[in-house]
Chains A and B, each alone.
Chain A
Amino acid sequence: MSIYILRRLMGITGVLVVISMLVFAITQIMPGDVANVLAGQFADDATIAAIEERLGLKDPFYVQYFNWAVSALQGDFGESMVMEQPVSPMIAEAFGRSLVLAFFAFILVVIFGIGIGVWSAVRRDKPTDHALSMFSYLGISVPEFFWGIVCVLLFARLLGWLPSGGAGNLSEDGLLGWSAHLVLPVLTLTFTLVAHVSRLTRSSMIEALDSQYVLNARAKGLPERHIVRGHALRNALLPSITVLAIDVGWLLGNIVVVEAVFSYPGLGRLLLFAIERHDLPLIQAGILVIALVYCLANLAADLLYAFLNPKIRYGQL
């Protein structure tokens, strides 16, 4: 088991190194000279040379990469070109807000995805099952910006129950005001992702309920409730864990769109802003953070999977 963790950790480190190289390569490949852009259209050669000197742009690319990687490891991603302030605090603040959004959406996806999946499996081919699968297909088949706009129109404009966008401040708006800003984006994110988990849980749950060991459990005279929870769900959840980890990636992608629709000042919007303005340090830092989150989510899923599956946890006697 410990060997397994060690191997996974080494693998992830490798992936992160490769990603950091790719991210760094952007600066080398992108058209236009950084120094030119920084100095402005009418700068003379001496100014440009000075900037190049200061940023180390004349060094060979591997020296540049090494210097960049060392400072990145220390949390220093340089200065934003457009905002002219250090990237790290900006990223940290936006990432924190996105994390709140992602966290609540993820919890809801877990609860509803697994819940709906199990419920439809137990009521297989009955009206409940059909209704639930239609509901989850609506979520997965229509893009999230549509549901975002529908939510804004319905709850913010028409009913006026919730704010249409922006983020609350915990100290100024209080808990209620803060969470009011979260409800619509979280709901939109959840709705688009729930189908993934619920469809997979439904099929692995059906497989478990049809299995020989469940038949054996029924033959022991155990109540159906206990068979579903104690016998079938335990094994049916294993594949769901893997798909949840992949969904973290989807979640990060969807967050960009949802933050734009609800003008929520998170990492997604910051990244969008950076891309529009070719703000390289900001783009680099944003991509690295997202890659890191994705890797960690997969690591967590693998470890959880290994822990819950006794065939991995315990070898032969």
Chain B
Amino acid sequence: MRTLRDFTSDSAHWVKEQTKVDKGATLLSVEEMSLAYDSDAGRISALSSVSFDLKAGRTMALVGESGSGKSSVAKALMGLLGSNASLKGRAKLLGTDLLSLPEEQHVQFRGRDIGIVFQDPFTSLNPGMRVGQQIAEPLIWHYGADPEEAMRRTVAALAAMGMPDPEQVATAYPHQLSGGMQQRALIAGALICDPKLLILDEPTTALDVTVEARILELLEQTRNDRNLSMLFITHNLGVVNRIADDVCVLYAGEVIEIGPKDKVLGNPSHPYTRGLLASLPLLRGERRRIAPIPGGFPDLRTRPSGCIFADRCPFAEADCTSTRQSLRALRPGHEVRCWKSESTGAWPEVKRKGTRARPVASDTPILEARGLRKVYHRRVPGGGVTWEWKAGILPLPTLQTEALAAVDGIDLRLERGEILGIVGESGSGKSSFGRTILQLNGAYSGQVLFNNGDVTNLTEAELTDLRSKTQMVFQNPDSSLNPRRRVGEAIARAMRLHDKVGGGTREDVERLIERVGLPQGYYDRYPSQLSGGEKQRIGIARALATGPEFIVCDEPVSGLDVSVQATILNLLEELRDELGLSYVFISHDLAVVGHLSDRVAVMYAGRIVEIGQASQVQAPPFHPYTEVLLESAPDPRPSAVRRENKLQMRGDTVSRSPAGCAFAARCPRKIGTICEETAPPLRTFDGGHTIACHISPDDLVRSPQYPESEKDRTSDSQ
């Protein structure tokens, strides 16, 4: 054991037996790492001969879809694999092979030489322990620091993470902090022992884009200040573009392409990397058909003898399936596991079936909301107590509550055949809006008109009738499909309940299952036998079962991998064109919303701050909030310009100004007290593009130093 107890409590520093690592020297060298898990179904190979080098002071992104093995790499380095894992190969951290270390030595490295931050900050912090105590622990266990000194360092570490009030955060419990604050606290904890290597496992995936942008900036700054090396695991190519120096693309446990970021993202060589980029909807991109990657991962019990990607590759030929592929250098530092990558062309485009439907404005919109308001009541923190009389005689002490308008006065109309995108961060009220218009959210004020008929106060029978014409596709098909019912029966039940499309016979259901792109035989499967994308297709089929005219899609693709996301988006578009459906499409992802929708509404704190055609909303003039969202959204194109003086919102969470503009408290372009006191006027530009803002139309048009959108368009990935 190394001397760990040279931590001196009187000075702010401790001497660590630290090997000085020069910038550019190799810090971590992973060689031929292979990993297999034993399961009931047999031995599954999760990683196969993974090798990469991470240099000091640099960031390596480990990219792949779910199941690619990227998180297994992190767990193997940390020595946190379960007992059913068998591991081969080497991973040398400054000469020490981490993979062959016995557990009692590995534990010394964890938290001290390697820090790790996991995906979900909400569950990564112990709910029963103060935040500061959790951060300080490694100092106490690794260096024997006395608790007071450890706490002093903790507060300093929290301050370094940009926490406005670090002492208060240190004594808080996790549930008292916002998601962004929790993730900052976890990063502070991972860095408290000054590790040389920081592993980040999807650290921003659970956060809003504006918070994500700030966390990424913080990480970059920290890395530069400390000469830290980061292994950044993510599925998001936009985030990779934002933070990484080098990229390592994993597919089914194999490195299929590795190299400098600009090369891999700007000039992707492996067909899979090209496919990933082609399946991404892009911000401000010209509206094109996104091209999904067909098929799914191969069975990993027996690795195929040829190329692992061959069965999904549009360029595959006979040699691909017979010859084992090895990494070969295209240029120094850029390697690819494909023997013919130079001779393959761009990822093939998908032809549209039929023409894109154009919604037409008419006197009879399919849906109209007038002054829609949905109010929730919540307890006032630190509020007083009032006595309420129950049943006339029983006094009941009650905590003071306050009204919170999740939907705060929305006027909107949706034309027949139109897709209206609603975008906003968590807490913006977009889901509440979707549920309220479907009459799923209890009482509200204002009016909802469906086919020009008021549906605000319906009887039970009328409501059942409405339900067959209006449907919903949910975010999480895992929890919205009954796990004990065959998917075909679930769909048939919806048909029979409303007795609309046919009588719910097996043929009807099978036709519908086929319509959403699945084999008819899926009728007899249970949800657990389907992949995420297949479950979402069933979710869509069930919504279609009643023959609806209007569907609310609430984040239907946010839990899916990008290649699957592309197939679902294409399916939704096809169905609209064919069946003349109208959607309200809710998402936090501006690129996805902009890709699919005809019109886009941007929501903040229950109000619509900007609405217009999808292309109008993504180009100036902007509402300041839209502008912040656009700037924060990660873009996978290396040419995407990153501005130095970006617009930044104040604070991490939605705050509300009741009288004036909803966004006033956080607006980076606030012009004065008028923003807080007076409701903003609606500024209308060409073609129904409307912005609710006090800034004069001229200033909105001349809006900030925003890069010409033309420039971005030309550099579309091939």
**Do they bind each other?**
yes
* Chain A interface (Cβ < 8 Å from any Cβ of B): 3, 6-7, 10, 211-213, 215-223, 226, 230-231, 234-235, 308-311, 314-317
Decide: A219 and B116 in contact? CB cutoff 8 A.
yes
B386-432 CB contacts (< 8 Å) to partner A:
396-397, 399
Query: Once the chains bind, are B124 and A213 in contact (CB under 8 Å)?
Result: yes
Say which residue of A218, A309, A314 sits within 8 Å of B80 (CB atoms).
Answer: A218
Give the chain B neighbours of A316 by CB distance below 8 A. 175-176, 381
In this assembly, does B452 line the interface, its C-beta being within 8 Å of a C-beta of chain A?
Answer: no
- What's the Cα separation between A315 and B108 when bound, in Å? 37
Complex: A54 Cα to B335 Cα, angstroms? 105
Contacts of A216 in B (CB 8 A): 116, 118, 124-126, 186
Within 8 A of A (CB), among B354-408: 379, 381-382, 385, 396-397, 399
Q: Are B141 and A222 in contact (CB under 8 A)?
A: yes
Judging by beta carbons under 8 Å apart, are B381 and A310 in contact? no
Nearest chain B residue, comparing its CB with the CB of A236: B128
Contact of B137 among A3, A220, A315, A317 (CB under 8 A): A220
Residues of B near any A CB (own CB < 8 A)? 78, 80, 107-112, 115-116, 118, 120, 123-129, 134, 137-138, 141-142, 168, 172-173, 175-177, 186, 189, 379, 381-382, 385, 396-397, 399
Show 9 residue pairs from A and B whose CB-CB distance is below 8 angstroms, ordered by the A residue. A3-B399, A216-B118, A216-B126, A219-B111, A219-B115, A221-B110, A235-B127, A235-B128, A315-B382
Bound CA span A226–B142, Å: 13
- Docked complex Cα distance between A215 and B78 (Å): 11
Please tell me if the beta carbons of A234 and B128 are within 8 angstroms of each other in the complex.
Answer: yes
> For residue A309, which residues in chain B have a CB less than 8 angstroms away from its CB?
128
Given A6-B397, A220-B137, A221-B141, CB of A317 within 8 Å of CB of B177: yes
Binding site of B, secondary structure by majority: helix, strand, loop or mixed?
mixed
* Complex: A188 Cα to B167 Cα, angstroms: 52
Among B120, B128, B138, B385, which residue has its beta carbon within 8 angstroms of that of A220?
B138
The docked-state distance in angstroms from the alpha carbon of A219 to that of B112 is 10
Q: Complex formed: what's the CA distance from A314 to B173 in Å?
A: 8
Q: B133: shortest Cβ distance to chain A, in Å? A: 9
Given A215-B118, A231-B126, A235-B127, verify A221-B142 contact (CB < 8 Å).
yes
B385 pairs with A212, CB closer than 8 A: no
B141:A223 contact, CB within 8 angstroms: yes
B125 touches which of A10, A213, A223 (Cβ 8 Å): A213
Instruction: Report Cα–Cα, A314/B128, bound state, in Å.
Output: 11
Cβ contact within 8 Å between B127 and A212: no
Is B168 touching A317 in the complex (CB atoms < 8 A)? yes
Cβ-neighbour of A211 out of B115, B123, B189, B385 (below 8 A)? B123
Which residues in A have their C-beta under 8 angstroms from that of B116? 216, 219
- Expressed in whole angstroms, the minimum distance between the Cβ of A90 and any Cβ of chain B is 36
Give every chain A residue within 8 A of B125 (Cβ-Cβ): 213, 216
* Distance of A308 Cα from B128 Cα, bound (Å): 8
Q: How far is the CB of B90 from chain A (nearest CB, A)?
A: 21
Residues of B near A217 (CB, < 8 A) are 126, 134, 137
Verify A213–B126 contact, CB threshold 8 A: yes
- Cβ A315 vs Cβ B78 within 8 A: no
How many Å lie between the Cα of A157 and that of B333 in the bound state?
A: 85
* Alpha-carbon separation in the docked complex, A10 to B189 (Å): 44
Bound-complex Cα distance A308 to B396 (A): 25
* A234–B133 alpha-carbon span in the complex (Å): 14
Q: Could you tell me the distance between the alpha carbons of A7 and B510 in the complex, rounded to whole angstroms?
A: 56
Report the Cα distance A266→B141, complex, angstroms. Answer: 52
Q: Which residue of B lies closest to A309 (CB)?
A: B128
B196 CB to closest chain A CB, in angstroms? 14
Contact A311 B112 (CB under 8 A): no
Give Cα A235 to B177, complex, Å. Answer: 19
Q: In the assembly, what is the distance between CA of A231 and CA of B138, in Å?
A: 13
Please state if A213 and B107 are interface contacts (CB–CB under 8 Å).
no
Chain A residue at minimum C-beta to C-beta distance from B398: A3
C-alpha spacing A310/B177, complex, angstroms: 13
Residues of A within 8 Å of B381, CB to CB, are 315-317
- Bound complex: CA of A10 vs CA of B397, how far in Å? 10
Assembly CA distance A311 to B125 (angstroms): 13
The docked-state distance in angstroms from the alpha carbon of A222 to that of B133 is 13
How far apart sit A75 and B411, CA to CA, in the bound complex (Å)?
67
With CB as the reference atom, state the residue of chain B lying closest to A310: B173
A219 touches B129 (CB 8 A): no
Residues of A contacting B396 in the complex (Cβ-Cβ under 8 angstroms): 7, 10
Docked pose: A230 CA to B136 CA in angstroms? 14
Known contacts A6-B397, A235-B127, A311-B175; 11 additional CB pairs below 8 A are A7-B397, A213-B125, A219-B110, A220-B189, A221-B138, A221-B141, A222-B138, A222-B141, A230-B129, A308-B128, A310-B175
Contact partner of A317 (CB less than 8 A), chosen from B108, B126, B128, B176, is B176
Say whether A221 contacts B118, CB under 8 Å: no
Q: What is the CB-to-nearest-CB distance from A17 to chain B, in angstroms, rounded to a whole number?
A: 12
Bound complex: CA of A234 vs CA of B174, how far in Å? 15
Q: Is the CB of A221 within 8 A of B111?
A: yes
Contact of A221 with B112 in the complex, beta carbons under 8 Å = yes
**Residues on the A chain within 8 Å of B173, using CB:** 310-311, 314
- Closest residue of chain A to B177 (Cβ to Cβ) is A317
- Closest 6 pairs between A and B when the two form their complex, measured CB to CB: A221-B110, A221-B111, A220-B111, A212-B123, A310-B173, A213-B126
Tell me which of A6, A213, A315 has the highest count of chain B C-beta atoms within 10 A of its own C-beta. A213
Q: Which residue in chain B gives the minimum CB-CB distance to A222?
A: B141
* Bound: A226/B140 CA distance, A: 12
Please, how many angstroms separate the alpha-carbon atoms of A251 and B623 in the complex? 66
Q: How far is the CA of A315 from the CA of B382 in the complex (A)?
A: 8
Q: Which of chain B's residues has its CB closest to A224's CB?
A: B107
| Bound complex: CA A7 to CA B177 (Å) | 28
User: Which residue of chain B has the shortest Cβ distance to A14 in the bound complex?
Assistant: B394
Q: Nearest residue in B to A311 (C-beta to C-beta)?
A: B175
List residues of chain B with CB within 8 A of the CB of A315.
Answer: 176, 379, 381-382
A226 to B125, CA, bound (A): 16
The residues of B that contact A231 with a CB separation of less than 8 Å are 126, 129
Contact A218:B168 (CB < 8 A) given known A7-B397, A212-B120, A311-B173: no
The one of A6, A219, A223, A311 that contacts B78, using a Cβ cutoff of 8 Å: A219
A123–chain B nearest beta-carbon distance, Å: 13
* Bound CA–CA A219/B81 (angstroms): 11
Contacts of B108 in A (CB 8 A): 221
A315 to B168, CA, bound (A): 14
Nearest residue in A to B168 (C-beta to C-beta)?
A317
